[in-house]
Structure 1
Amino acid sequence: MTPLLHTRSTLKFVLFSILFLIYNSLFAQSTQTLRGRVTDGVSKTPLIGVSIRMAGDGLATLGSTTDEHGDYRIDKVPLGRQTLIVSYIGYETQTLANILVTAGKEVVLDVSLQEAVSELTEIVVTSDSHSDKTATNNELALVSSRAFNTDETKRYAGALGDPSRMAANFAGVVGGNDGRNDIVVRGNSPTGMLWQMEGLNIPNPNHFGTLVSTGGPVSMLNANTLGKSDFMTSAFPAQYGNATAGVFDLALRNGNNEKTELMAQAGFNGFEVGAEGPFSKNSKGSYLVNYRYSTLGVFKALGIEFGTGTATPLYQDLNFKIALPSGKKGTFTVFGMGGASAIDLKGSDADLDNAKSLYGSENYDSYPRYKTGVIGVAYERTVSAKTFARLVAGISHTNEQFTNDSLVRDETQQVINKYLSNEGKFATTKYSANFQTRTKFNRRNTLVSGVMMDLSNVDLYQRDVFTNVGTDTVRLHVKDRTTLYQFHTTWRHRFNEHWSAQAGAHAQYYDLNKQWAVEPRLGLQFIPGDGKQSFSLGYGIHNQAQNITTSYVQTRVGDKSALTNLDLGFTTSHHFVFTYDRNITEHLRFKGEAYYQALSNVPVERNASSFASINSGISFGPTNTDSLVNKGVGKNYGVELTLERFFNQGYYFLVTTSLFNSRYEGSDGIERNTAYNVKHVLNVLGGKEWALPQGKFFSVNLKVTTIGGPYLTPLDLEESQARGRAVYRDSEAYSVRQKSYFRVDLRLSYRQEYKRSTLEASLDLQNLTNSQNIFSQTYNPRTNSVITIYQQPFFPVPYVRFTF
């Protein structure tokens, strides 16, 4: 949870962090090693004799060529940001810019090259996506996609090392919730997102992340273990399924297999330690592990008070990856992520004169507990010079428990009693497997195919307790097993250097309701002769099964219960996208996209109402709406613009804007705004880095965000007063618009290079202007009035990191 820190408490934290990470060094190191492996982009076959050279003044003599294993090594690379040019006869040249070289850590950079269509001596395509730092790992993602790396999660102001908060800066993505990192893509519910790690479908990877959402206050993902990963917002390739909004395809980097490296880090997100290195001097295998414990939890144990009272978020997590070469052509990896989180939200301790928590309520004592774990095993092998295969299998588990006690106060507002009002336990265990092959028949034709299976065991229980009448209502009570099977294939054809096309299909079968869905996926790209721009078209049908809590909601029928949602089918989405991409200069890029998304088979109530499931997913609890049918529809359409200057000569900027409309129809047939229809988003980011004497660097990063106000359902004050709880006018759903969201974040960073180590420190000044952004409006039965809850005020976040 994101508590509010006082300035004095923040100073205590800064002093503690500095003391924790003091390091003495008298001599600065000016160079480091840069190494890695170069492979074919499709078959992953090592490429021998590839030329790797450094670009820049005085660096012409620095370079290398790959050996028989495709490995290269460049020693004595100057510290700072460097550019690497990778070229090979018959392949398209890659230019990798802004590689951050530090004293505390070797740079291990693997590169995949794309074979050129024409058999010329050497091909340089200026607009080729592989020379673009935003190019995805997945070459089949032609539209609505980009890559990101950990450098961006640490550089962008307000991101706090969180991939989800970083992605909120991209066109088509809406943030606007200071307390959670849910990803709202193009007006879709965040439940439409798919999370993958190393090819494994994973649950919500956030602390305090519920089964019915895809976000949370603190990410469980560790930026120190992530490699270059992909983020997609529409018409994604056929290998991704069971999602209607977007895809986060996460890749973990391998640990250093030659040198042991350590890391210590302290920030608002937690105290953290990490290690990586080889298993032995002669081993080619490596390990990478990072552990984190919540900062406020540490200070609570030390008796240091940070103004959060009993509402102290306690969490810890572990991320790891082990990579072991298997023969000359194979690699065996084991990876995982796990975390636990808990907090006591006690309304009985609330300050009634200022009870405006984003999470708790003065009328309840709440005790949520969460656990999430993922472990996977993967084996990949270059079967031949043209074929690559990969198999990954794993287990993921979630356990969410909560109890809420209703408080009884006397005339002086003191709590005199409490009664259980509701409780729940949601436990899931999923066994997953994903097998994929990639075959390059020739320079022009590639085939990617695969099959996936997710077998889930679920144990769901939830009930509401009505102590005043001595009864309760069970909302969920089931133990069952479900399986989702998915199949995909994509053929890619490159006609020449200018035209390429791909056609694919994804199919899935869900045994819970015995339903099939077959989905075509199409893409076309044209790169004109000047090689500086591209035009792309994308289309796809995407289906998603309903959330498991929705399927098993109980309906009371006399003395018995019925599962009236069990036969709900897939929600279906048609994606149409047009993309124009232009490299204005070597470092300046413009991108524009227009899209239309048609949603059908959306669950709505049988009786006429405004309810539709596409408005759910951003709250902590399930909706528990029963008797649903697949008869709702929706649509999202808009235009997105991106102007980005990649980091060069010490500065960068990113400007993204989205203009869109998001509408739906419930079973009453009335078209309304969705809960996510903010209509416009503008993000302006920029930063400057200065190189100071003696290996010191200082940078300033700024972010300005404005988001249109969301539409809310108005409260019925008279009914709320009569019933003693919030009652909304559902017939006027999402008809009242809030004021726009505005926020400015500033990040000040410092880096010091020592002989064999690097010290980094930063201060994030979040909501610098202390803007009062509305979080929600609700009814307070104690004051018998409507209250407004505001989001995070000005909030300083310090951070210190030490690698050696």
Structure 2
Amino acid sequence: MKRIFLIIFGLFGFISEAQTGAVKGKIIDKQSEKPLVGVLVTLVGNESIEAVTDNNGNFRLLNIPIGRQNLTISFTGYENTSVSDLDVTTGKDNLLTISMIEKFNALDEIVVTSGSSKAKAINKMALVSTKQFTTEEVNRYAGGRSDVARLVSNFAGVSTGDDSRNDIVVRGNSPSGMLWRIEGMPVPSPNHFSTLGTTGGPISALNPNLLANSDFLTSAFPAEYGNAISGVFDLSFRKGNPDDYEYMISAGAYPGVEFMAEGPLGKKGGSFVAAARYGFVGVLGLAGTDAQPNYRDISFNVDLGKSKIGNFSVFGIYGTSDIKFLGSKIDKEDPFAAQDEDAFVKSGFASIGLKHNLEIGTRSYLKTIIGASNAENSYRNDRYYGFQTPNETKLSFTDIKNSENRITFSTLFNSKINKKTTFRAGLLFEHYTLDAKMASRDRQQDSDGDGYPDFVQVVDNNGSYNIMQPFAQGQFRLTEKLTFNAGVHGQYFSINKEFVLEPRTALSYAVNPKNTISFGFGIHHQSVPVPVLFLNEFVDGNPLQTNKNLDLVESKHYVLGYDVRLAKKWRGKVEVYYQDINKAAVQSFPSSYSSLTEGADFGYSIDKTSLISKGKGYNQGIEFTVEKFFSEGYYALFTTSFFESKYKGSDGIERNSPFNNGYVVNLLGGKEFRIGREKKNVFSIDTKFTTAGGRYYTPVDLAASNDAGYEIRDDANAFSKQYDPYLRLDIKFGIKFNSKKKKRFHQFYIDFQNVTNHTNIFTKEYNRLTNSINQKDQIGFSPDFGYKFQF
């Protein structure tokens, strides 16, 4: 190991640092999103390097020295802004989209804003509970596995206690309450090995190298978002380099092998960017199971350029995954399989959209998206009855085949009425076609007397339904310090023919340049998870879907926030929230069940039928964030949340939800060291410490399980037990080389995850082979590594 490090550091003496980089981009008006012409962009410290935006708002800065650089952006009548600590390398041009806001008072003095533009959301209508993140953060933070879902687990209000999945638990809500959007279009869960109705998975299929800066919202979101009650991932794909062809080859333990290409397209200013990946984590033994997971994905964004009838672009993402759990090759401690079973898992999804942006006058635009998505998964489970006895018999135990297709149409009209008022309205229409089938012996009777549980068709649905969501909202800059947003969102669900109106509002008041107070309120609705909605109940021997007419679950969010600029590049934030939930699905007789507890596992309940919409719940808490934006070669982030998540089933007893961790603490930091003769190569160290309260779970009723031969939980004491606290420490080392040759850049990293090898509990479950309760643990110490070559 010592020799390896000596060789690596020895390379610095042979690498020339004479190359320069380039920064290109577009400057737009934040309210109208129209390009700004004549904006001056200047490199700080070398004012001779500057550019002025052209008729399309584009600028180019060439021959920029390698390393972290700062830009200032100024334009008459607009508030000055800046871009800080931009990482300029020899391997790739930096592509930026920068928004500027018109001065409230034309006589205001020009003052360059401090801090970071990341402190505010990209969506101008989001004033509370929103965090903007960058691709650099996805790849920078220790323990992140190049996964945007795992990135947001570092933010206040987001918790995780399961390294095997990237489910996003926002403020005590189920992960099924999440909304994923790509380029403004709702999409199925963009994760490998995802199942119907879930929003997470073991491995992300979202390629961070194609993402632009994006927003993550945790509550009281603006009126354009709907059919979600916990959070929103509003993702944007970046555009390709409009001038030069660029390529990347990389390999990483979790993302796998990747090839990416981008460059100009046509003569109208178009561009393309596309990437393909193939995973090989199982080959490295880092999957947390003896089975071999296989997965691959493709992502692309093609901008066809500006024409007389507007700007067209096509974007998409496609992924497939499969794994075989063969009992004879599975260790008894494997968290995902059992030795008396063979299981075969397949999943796939695809989303493609055509986006059209039409400028209307000088202050308005109309954005329209037509898209289609598909998500399908299958799970076949064969069980060996009489395992390892002379009477051993192999029978099909579970057979699941799900396919969900949706066609999406959305349109959004945005108009900057004046510098103080912006109006936005639109409509989202989604047509779903669902083919869901599930046959299982789980918890079934032996009515035919063959000695085995009957193989019953639990779910058999082949139908369609529609969701329509109109909205309208406005932003009003009432004074220089006071901004007010108000809007209304509508939602129509064709299955139960329910239409709801949801008011949304937010207020931001800048007490002074360093202190801001904000408030947000919103009503949100979402249907009960689809797998529960279409369960079959046998009435007089006939299958009936007795849950289809359940009401939409209602959630009311209240948020109060305080934001303070502690020092240059330092920010502090506190938010207090309360969420009141009604009309959750519960059983018609006294029980502890509620649909609010769904999403805590890989699948959903298969025996909860004839449900009624009378369940209640609430989430409340306080969140703290202290953040040092990257500058002077280092960054720091401290977030902590203290919260309570409770629900009531039809028995009226208040219980912990399975997502009631109670507290989450994250501490991240990193430092870059400039090395080499001219200090333009980089050695970096990043670290992350996380601890959280354990999740609540329902204990196994051992006696009842032994009598039945399968796991039975003690539902009378639902979620009364809590796992031990979650704890993990990650440390990451990285090296970046800027080559002496044009367009060459190398990057290496190794990420030591869970370096203390702390044992975090995965589950406690019934072992039918030993008639006992077993504890299965999550993966311990695990190294992640990667290499990237850009040219």
Report the TM-score when normalising by structure 1.
0.93
Aligned residue type for 1:799: G
Superposed displacement of residue 46, structure 1: 1.9
Partner of 1:535: 517
| 8 Å CA contact retained: 2:664, 2:693 | yes
Query: 5 Å matches for 1:545-624?
Result: 545-624=527-606
| 8 Å CA contact retained: 2:584, 2:615 | yes
Partner of 1:67: 54
Partner of 1:30: 19
Query: 5 Å matches for 1:469-488?
Result: 469=452, 471-488=454-471
Match of 1:246 among 231, 240, 252: 231
Distance 1:104 1:293, change over 3 A: same
Per-residue Cα deviation, 1:36-90 (whole angstroms, up to 9, x for no partner):
11121122222111111122xx423222111222221111111112111111111
Per-residue Cα deviation, 1:466-494 (whole angstroms, up to 9, x for no partner):
67347322111011010000011111111
Distance 1:611 1:306, change over 3 A: closer
Superposed displacement of residue 705, structure 1: 0.4
Partner of 1:390: 367
* Partners of 2:246 and 2:390 in 1: CA distance: 55
Distance 1:200 1:541, change over 3 A: same
Distance 1:146 1:309, change over 3 A: closer
Give yes or no for the alignment of 1:322 onto 2:329.
no
Aligned to 2:705, the other structure's residue is in SS state: helix
Partner of 1:700: 685
Superposed displacement of residue 547, structure 1: 2.0
| 8 Å CA contact retained: 2:68, 2:88 | yes
Partner of 2:160: 175
Superposed displacement of residue 126, structure 1: 4.1
Aligned residue type for 1:432: T
* Partners of 2:652 and 2:83 in 1: CA distance: 53
- Between stretches 467-476 and 191-200, larger displacement belongs to 467-476
Partner of 2:671: 688
Match of 1:656 among 635, 639, 653: 639
Give yes or no for the alignment of 1:447 onto 2:423.
yes
Superposed displacement of residue 305, structure 1: 8.0
Aligned to 1:722, the other structure's residue is in SS state: helix
Aligned to 2:490, the other structure's residue is in SS state: strand
* Partners of 1:212 and 1:132 in 2: CA distance: 35
Give yes or no for the alignment of 1:713 onto 2:690.
no
* Partners of 1:414 and 1:751 in 2: CA distance: 61
Distance 1:629 1:43, change over 3 A: same
Superposed displacement of residue 25, structure 1: 9.0
| 8 Å CA contact retained: 1:45, 1:385 | yes
Aligned residues: 773
Distance 1:522 1:476, change over 3 A: same
Partner of 1:272: 258
Superposed displacement of residue 416, structure 1: 4.7
Per-residue Cα deviation, 1:727-784 (whole angstroms, up to 9, x for no partner):
1110000111221111001111111111221101101101010001111101112122
* Partners of 1:557 and 1:570 in 2: CA distance: 25
* Partners of 2:223 and 2:235 in 1: CA distance: 17
Partner of 1:118: 105
- Between stretches 219-228 and 86-95, larger displacement belongs to 86-95
| 8 Å CA contact retained: 2:420, 2:476 | yes
Partner of 2:447: none
| 8 Å CA contact retained: 2:271, 2:305 | no
Partner of 2:440: 464
Give yes or no for the alignment of 1:378 onto 2:355.
yes
| 8 Å CA contact retained: 2:161, 2:694 | no
| 8 Å CA contact retained: 2:295, 2:321 | yes
* Partners of 1:294 and 1:46 in 2: CA distance: 40
Distance 1:524 1:306, change over 3 A: closer
Aligned to 1:486, the other structure's residue is in SS state: strand
Distance 1:580 1:305, change over 3 A: closer
Superposed displacement of residue 464, structure 1: 0.8
* Partners of 2:430 and 2:756 in 1: CA distance: 47
Match of 2:406 among 416, 425, 430: 430
Distance 1:307 1:440, change over 3 A: closer
* Partners of 2:193 and 2:289 in 1: CA distance: 19
| 8 Å CA contact retained: 1:29, 1:103 | no
* Partners of 2:603 and 2:657 in 1: CA distance: 19
| 8 Å CA contact retained: 1:605, 1:611 | yes
Give yes or no for the alignment of 1:760 onto 2:747.
yes
Aligned to 2:531, the other structure's residue is in SS state: helix
| 8 Å CA contact retained: 1:91, 1:122 | no
* Partners of 1:152 and 1:118 in 2: CA distance: 35
Aligned residue type for 1:551: L
Per-residue Cα deviation, 1:237-275 (whole angstroms, up to 9, x for no partner):
000000000000000000001100000110112111110
Gap runs ≥5 in structure 2: 445-449
Distance 1:410 1:364, change over 3 A: closer
* Partners of 1:78 and 1:414 in 2: CA distance: 75
Superposed displacement of residue 452, structure 1: 0.4
Superposed displacement of residue 358, structure 1: 2.2
Partner of 1:4: none
| 8 Å CA contact retained: 2:528, 2:584 | no
Aligned to 1:178, the other structure's residue is in SS state: coil
* Partners of 2:69 and 2:470 in 1: CA distance: 42
Gap runs ≥5 in structure 1: 1-6
Distance 1:96 1:449, change over 3 A: same
Partner of 2:781: 794
Aligned to 1:575, the other structure's residue is in SS state: strand
Superposed displacement of residue 143, structure 1: 0.4
| 8 Å CA contact retained: 2:644, 2:660 | yes
Report the TM-score when normalising by structure 2.
0.94
Superposed displacement of residue 26, structure 1: 5.9
Distance 1:502 1:310, change over 3 A: closer
* Partners of 1:25 and 1:274 in 2: CA distance: 28
Per-residue Cα deviation, 1:222-250 (whole angstroms, up to 9, x for no partner):
01100001000010000000000000000
Aligned residue type for 1:181: N
CA RMSD, 1 decimal: 2.2
* Partners of 2:85 and 2:528 in 1: CA distance: 43
